[in-house]
Amino acid sequence: MRVKNPNVVILGAGYGGLMTTVKLQKSLGVNEANITLVNKNDYHYQTTWLHETAAGTIHHDQTRIPLKDVVNMSKVNFVQDTVVEIKPDEKKVKLENSELDYDILVVGLGFEPATFGIPGLEENAFMINDINSSRLIREHLEHNFAMYHNEEEKNPARLNIVVGGGGFTGIEFVGELANRIPELCEEYDIDKAQVRIINVEGAPTVLPGFDPELVEYAMNSLEARGVEFITGALLKEAKPESIVYEKDGKQVEIPTLTTVWAAGVRANSIVEKSGFENNRGKVEVRKDMRAPEYDDVFVIGDCALIWNGERPFPPTAQIAIQQSATVAHNVKALVQGHTDLESFEFNSLGTLASLGHNDAVGVIMNDRKIFGWKATFMKKMSDNRYLLKLGGVGLMLKKGKFNFFY
Ligand SMILES: Cc1cc2nc3c(=O)[nH]c(=O)nc-3n(C[C@H](O)[C@H](O)[C@H](O)COP(=O)(O)OP(=O)(O)OC[C@H]3O[C@@H](n4cnc5c(N)ncnc54)[C@H](O)[C@@H]3O)c2cc1C
């Protein structure tokens, strides 16, 4: 039955949740629905830039956007709080400090790191999850460089940086490190040759599944800047001052005070804990982006699973942003009492991986391969395009990336 002036509650101000909110604040009148946005922080952060924040190549304030700059607070009720549990049968959301009732819910709570039970990772490795965990990595790197000359016995573990995982996140992060380390060396009087950036990947090659020519380009570019790759190697344990990996049946230990785990994410565990039917923690949404068993719950971004033939689409900002158009359209339709909802269709705009701020690889438009400055340009343009869509020209000029050629 249609509810008059329903409560539309959106959980998470990430790519999916925030874009849905911005679209709904434009398309729904204040007398049509009460829109509430819940987020841990009073800012949105660009998850896709967190590896830069972590390496220290951009300041965290460039990565985050105050919600008041893009959300119309007179149309949207913003609640800064942490979601603890969703009770879909009661149409309630439990927050740390209160409880909300909803008529229509959008779940956009993003991802959590997956450590696959590898001993010591949770305790001893750093992870690129959000602004605070990324800022911690930057501070930790600086601390180790600063400490190096301040100990009687020099500790090489301070200068060994191990990155677990050679997928997109791991490769983008080592690319930033390769640019940042020479700056840190200069700042702290350290010989560059003493610093090791080591990428450990379980598959036979980094960027598994990506075009082999582009993988070769990426590895050459990164190796030329000092990155070491150990492929076909499984990380076995992270200890406080070393990591252990296994390759060809042999275990090897590398002394390090900095292990960054970038080899796996899963959907926010709140989804599974709240009892939604799920596939490895994600909700296999219907074509209209609703949870299978609840007509009033939409799931978006990394919490949602959509099949692309035999395999699910990988979790990306690109798909989360596109899904927001379908979710916002369908929420509006439900608010206005329509029953014919739109189906989501993914339109791939390509895949680009940065290798630092001045190099990148990728495939765009019908699998055209690009690398070098062209790929860097396209990557920065796509970041700027998102800012333009989210907050207009002003936001793009304030937070965008315009260092195209250096
Ligand atoms: C380093 C890195 C680089 C990446 N690069 C790319 C790339 O180049 N291109 C690409 O397309 N994708 C990339 N991705 C993947 C992409 O960032 C994610 O797929 C995308 O962020 C998912 O969007 P989302 O809306 O589901 O969640 P998110 O953008 O992660 O947002 C989730 C939001 O929910 C909030 N939240 C979480 N839990 C709670 C809670 N309990 N209570 C309240 N609020 C909560 C968070 O604070 C956050 O604001 C990258 C990911 C990483 C980590």
pLDDT of residue 4: 84
The Å distance, Cα 263 to ligand 1 centre, comes to 15
Q: Let me know if domain 7-40+81-113+266-340 sits in CATH 3.50.50.60.
A: yes
Give the residue, by CA position, lying nearest to ligand 1 atom 7. 48
| Interstrand relation of 307-308 and 311-312 (parallel, antiparallel or unpaired) | antiparallel
pLDDT band at 226 (very low <50, low <70, confident <90, very high): very high
Q: Where are the domains of the chain?
A: 7-40+81-113+266-340, 115-263+349-406
pLDDT of residue 403: 83
Residue to substitute in 48, 64, 282 for testing ligand 1 pocket (most ligand atoms within 8 angstroms of CB): 48
The Å distance, Cα 179 to ligand 1 centre, comes to 24
Amino acid in position 313: F
**DSSP assignment, residue 159?**
G
Q: Are the CB atoms for 244 and 236 separated by under 8 Å? A: yes
C-alpha 362/C-alpha 369 separation (Å) is 6
Query: What 3-state class would DSSP assign to 255?
Result: strand
Give the residue, by CA position, lying nearest to ligand 1 atom 31. 14
C-alpha 84/C-alpha 98 separation (Å) is 10
Structure tokens at 192: 């560059």
pLDDT band at 211 (very low <50, low <70, confident <90, very high): very high
pLDDT, mean of residues 123-147? 98
The Å distance, Cα 302 to ligand 1 centre, comes to 7
C-alpha 12/C-alpha 335 separation (Å) is 20
Which atom number of ligand 1 is nearest to the Cα of residue 50? 1
pLDDT, mean of residues 281-295? 97
Query: What 3-state class would DSSP assign to 35?
Result: strand
Query: What 3-state class would DSSP assign to 338?
Result: coil
For residue 237, list its beta bridge partners.
244
| Residues labelled catalytic | 172
Supply the pTM of this predicted model. 0.96
Cα dist from 188 to 59, 60, 143, 174, whole Å:
19, 22, 10, 20
Start-to-end CA span in the chain (Å): 58
Best CA proximity match to 207, nearest among 366, 375, 354: 354
* CATH no. for 115-263+349-406: 3.50.50.100
Q: Tell me what percent of the residues of the chain surpass a pLDDT of 90.
A: 96
The conformational region for residue 50 under phi > 0 = left, psi -120 to 50 = alpha, else beta, is alpha
pLDDT band at 69 (very low <50, low <70, confident <90, very high): very high
The Å distance, Cα 110 to ligand 1 centre, comes to 5
Element (H, E) at 171: helix 168-187
Cα dist from 361 to 10, 41, 53, 160, 292, whole Å:
35, 33, 20, 26, 37
Which atom number of ligand 1 is nearest to the Cα of residue 13? 49
For residue 264, pLDDT beyond 90: no
Half-sphere exposure of 269 (CA within 13 A, CB side): 3
pLDDT, mean of residues 159-179? 97
